[in-house]
Amino acid sequence: MHTTGDYLKLHFLVFLWGFTGILGKLITLPAVEMVFYRTLLAAIGMAVLLVAVKSSFKVSTSDLVKLLLTGFIVSAHWLTFFASARVSNISVSLVGFATASLWTAFLEPLVKGQRIRMIEFVFGSIVLVGLYIIFSADFSYSTGLILGVLSGLTCAVFSVINSQLVHRISSYAITFYEMVGACLGTILFFPIYTHYWAASHELQLTPNLMDWICLALLAWLCSVYAYSAGVELMKKISVFFFQLTLNLEPIYGIVMAVLIFGESEKMTMRFYTGTVILLCAVLVYPWIKKRFTVGQTTAIVH
């Protein structure tokens, strides 16, 4: 059973994830090199945490393979998210990412062998309407939007996978092995990246001091803490509600961008209109879902 504290903790995690776009913009490294350092530092940080709390690294061979492959998906998520922000802006990358709730509404029932529930499809659609209103002026950034949507899809995929794994594997172990997998996945992507996209066909692996500070925050606060805490919350909160709440990330991200970068991030009436729609969807969903579940249970009893 989830509590009010679980919801508050989830919103705090979403706030931290909303800050990742800001940190990504402050880091001077290209997106691929940034993801490599983030995942490497996160894997090291999780290893230290596992030792500190005396938690076991042990998982079965089959689970190890699943976790490492899921880490590849995590890598794809971060690569597409940060690349989207680089080729467009933070707003476009966030609105693309926020499609994760709609992807989840389709993916979770398929994984569990269930029919798609209309309530989740409807609320996912409402969220998209709100986000479209907020960022409609920025839809000219087609490449950035496509990368952002891919970021949302990959986020939905690894979230659904983790919601299954967390019931038999500790959240710390899940996070550690997925960070290792994400780092390996990024390294395996290096040859393709340097051949087609990297400047001068070379990796830029020399962060400056500010880069290291931002990378440490990305890795240890926004990844090690937030990722493992988020996986742990999936024991109590449905994947869809988790993803629906994640749609607040664009709001937090844009507000912080305005505070930090000033006029370069403008907030219009569309922003406030979309925000109201999005917040209503997030806040009303638990109440509607509870009534829907109660009604469904009563019908079965009768």
Q: Give pLDDT tens digits for 121-135.
A: 788 788 888 878 876
Between 37 and 276, residue with greater pLDDT: 37
Rounded Cα distance between 244 and 118, Å, is 15
pLDDT digits (tens, 9 = 90+) for 153-210: 999 999 899 988 988 898 889 989 999 999 999 999 999 999 999 988 999 999 999 9
| pLDDT score recorded for residue 236 | 80
Q: What sign does the CA torsion over 286, 9, 153, 111 have?
A: negative
pLDDT of residue 286: 62
Q: What is the pLDDT of residue 266?
A: 61
The pLDDT, as a whole number, for residue 237 is 81
**Residues making up the chain, counted from first to last:** 302
pLDDT-derived band at 256, boundaries 50, 70, 90: confident
CA dist 56 and 239 (Å) reads: 25
Report yes or no: 158 and 77 within 8 Å, Cβ to Cβ.
Answer: yes
What's the angle, vertex CA 103, arms to CA 187 and CA 300, rounded to 5? 135
Q: Pick the residue with more confidence: 217 or 139?
A: 217
pLDDT for the residue 80: 96
Q: Are 243 and 101 in contact (CB under 8 A)?
A: yes
Highest mean pLDDT among 23-32, 69-78, 267-276: 69-78
Q: How confident is the model at residue 140 (pLDDT cuts 50, 70, 90)?
A: low
102 compared with 292, residue with greater pLDDT: 102
Residue 243 tokens, joined: 């993803």
Flag whether pLDDT at 6 surpasses 90: no
Instruction: Give, in degrees to the nearest 5, the angle at Cα 62 between 60 and 65.
Output: 110
Spatial CB neighbours of 181, under 8 Å, sequence gap ≥ 6: 67, 68, 69, 70, 71, 72, 74, 75
pTM of the model: 0.84
What is the rounded distance in angstroms from the CA atom of residue 232 to the CA atom of residue 95? Answer: 26
> What is the pLDDT at residue 265?
59
Average pLDDT of the chain to the nearest whole number? 84
Judged by average pLDDT, the poorest of 23-27, 210-214, 270-274 is 270-274
Q: Please, which pLDDT band fits residue 296 given cuts at 50, 70 and 90? A: very low
Supply the pLDDT for residue 269: 77
Rounded to whole angstroms, the Cα distance separating 116 from 109 reads: 6
Please give the Cα distance from 219 to 37 (Å, whole number): 8
Please enumerate in sequence order all residues whose Cβ is within 8 A of that of 40, keeping only pairs 6 or more positions apart, or say none. 183, 219
- Give the separation between CA 154 and CA 134, rounded to whole angstroms: 23
3-class SS letters over the chain: CCCHHHHHHHHHHHHHHHCHHHHHHHCCCCHHHHHHHHHHHHHHHHHHHHHHCCCCCCCCHHHHHHHHHHHHHHHHHHHHHHHHHHHCCHHHHHHHHCCHHHHHHHHHHHHHCCCCCHHHHHHHHHHHHHHHHHHHHHCCCHHHHHHHHHHHHHHHHHHHHHHHHCCCCCHHHHHHHHHHHHHHHHHHHHHHHHHHCCHHHCCCCCCCHHHHHHHHHHHHHHHHHHHHHHHHHCCCCCHHHHHHHHCCHHHHHHHHHHHHHHHHCCCCHHHHHHHHHHHHHHHHHHHHHHHHHHHHHHHHHC
